[in-house]
Amino acid sequence: MLFHLMRVELDEDGRVVARTDTQPLYELREDAMVMAEFEAARCYSEYGYNADSDCWWSRDRRGRRFRFEVQPVTAADAIQQVA
């Protein structure tokens, strides 16, 4: 199974504003989670891990909020991303 990292931007009420699917796909979930932490840490001023949602989060200096979610990719999804 493959995994991908999604960057999810949230509004003030916690609703999803935008989703960005990052590349590449990862063979191991652990590798994708390490990259999620890295993305949360390098781009924004405040970040952490949310154990309830099993994702990394961040907040930038302007107050925008983001989640970095690792999600499994089906074989069909992987083929579409390569094509």
Give the start-to-end residue ranges of the domains of the chain.
2-82
What is the per-residue DSSP string for 1-14? -EEEEEEEEE-TTS
The whole model's pTM is what? 0.82
pLDDT tens-digit readout, 52-66:
999 999 998 888 899
Each residue's pLDDT tens digit, 15-70: 999 999 888 899 999 999 999 999 999 877 799 999 999 999 999 888 889 999 99
Q: Is cis: bond before 24, omega within 30 of 0?
A: yes
